[in-house]
């Protein structure tokens, strides 16, 4: 499937085509657009690359099996919430989320600063995930591979069609653009 071939089609139109035909090809194009967002969300909560990748696959499967049950108008928001809820359920099943909840309930007022810091960190991570989607394909790919998947420059050149200088440039420009986007969105 060629991403550029369908770049002009809006999320809403892809969703309409999927709903009309039940052809998973349309849903696949739509989900491909948000793979990086889902990986970022999953990394934020699960803090483990393999678990995050597995979570993205599970979210895709859930979307395929359950999307027809809902009247989804904004796919990006819907798939984000599906991913977030999936990760929270995984943490709860491991017992980590319950501990977090109990700590927040039982914590003394002096822990308010810590809670506020955690909330701020969550907001920043959400902003970062959103900003990542606004980068061009090359920057998005290189930044994700370097920072989220912890690949070396050499591994990125082997995995992509870019040479070493292009990889470094895409990472540097992507990092700068992320900062600009996030600062703009804060204001």
Could you give the number of structural domains in the chain?
A: 1
Residue 175 lies inside a defined structural domain of this protein? no
DSSP state of 70: S
Q: pLDDT (tens digit, 0 to 9) for every residue of the chain, 187 residues total?
A: 445 677 788 888 998 898 888 888 888 888 888 898 899 889 988 988 899 999 999 999 888 888 877 777 788 888 888 888 888 888 887 765 444 444 444 444 445 666 667 667 767 777 777 787 788 889 988 988 888 777 899 999 998 889 999 999 999 999 999 889 888 877 7
Question: Comparing C-alpha atoms, which of 121, 154, 160 is closest to residue 140?
Answer: 160
Residue 79 lies inside a defined structural domain of this protein? yes
Residue 17 lies inside a defined structural domain of this protein? yes
What does pTM read for this prediction?
Answer: 0.53
Residue 93 lies inside a defined structural domain of this protein? yes
Residue 178 lies inside a defined structural domain of this protein? no
Residue 4 lies inside a defined structural domain of this protein? yes
Under 8 Å between Cβ of 156 and 162: yes
- Whole domain around residue 27: which residue ranges? 1-108
Residue 80 lies inside a defined structural domain of this protein? yes
3-class DSSP assignment, residue 3 = coil
Q: What is the CATH number of the domain that holds 44?
A: 1.10.1740.10
Label residue 79 left, alpha or beta by phi (over 0 means left) and psi (-120 to 50 means alpha): alpha
Residue 98 lies inside a defined structural domain of this protein? yes
């Amino acid at each position: 499937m060629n991403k550029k071939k369908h770049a002009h089609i809006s999320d809403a139109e892809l969703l309409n085509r999927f709903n009309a035909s039940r052809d998973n090809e349309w849903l696949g194009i739509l989900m491909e657009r948000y793979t990086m967002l889902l990986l970022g969300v999953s990394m934020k909560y699960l803090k483990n690359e393999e678990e995050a990748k597995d979570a993205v696959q599970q979210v895709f499967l859930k979307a395929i099996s359950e999307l027809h049950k809902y009247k989804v108008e904004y796919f990006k928001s819907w798939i984000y919430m599906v991913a977030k809820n999936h990760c929270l359920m995984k943490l709860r099943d491991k017992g980590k989320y319950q501990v977090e909840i109990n700590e927040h309930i039982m914590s003394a007022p002096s822990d308010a600063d810590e809670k506020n810091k955690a909330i701020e960190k969550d907001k920043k991570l959400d902003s970062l995930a959103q900003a990542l989607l606004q980068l061009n394909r090359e920057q998005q790919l290189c930044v994700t591979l370097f920072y989220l998947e912890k690949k070396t420059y050499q591994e990125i050149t082997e995995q992509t069609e870019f040479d070493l200088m292009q990889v470094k440039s895409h990472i540097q420009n992507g990092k700068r653009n992320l900062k600009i986007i996030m600062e703009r969105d804060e204001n």
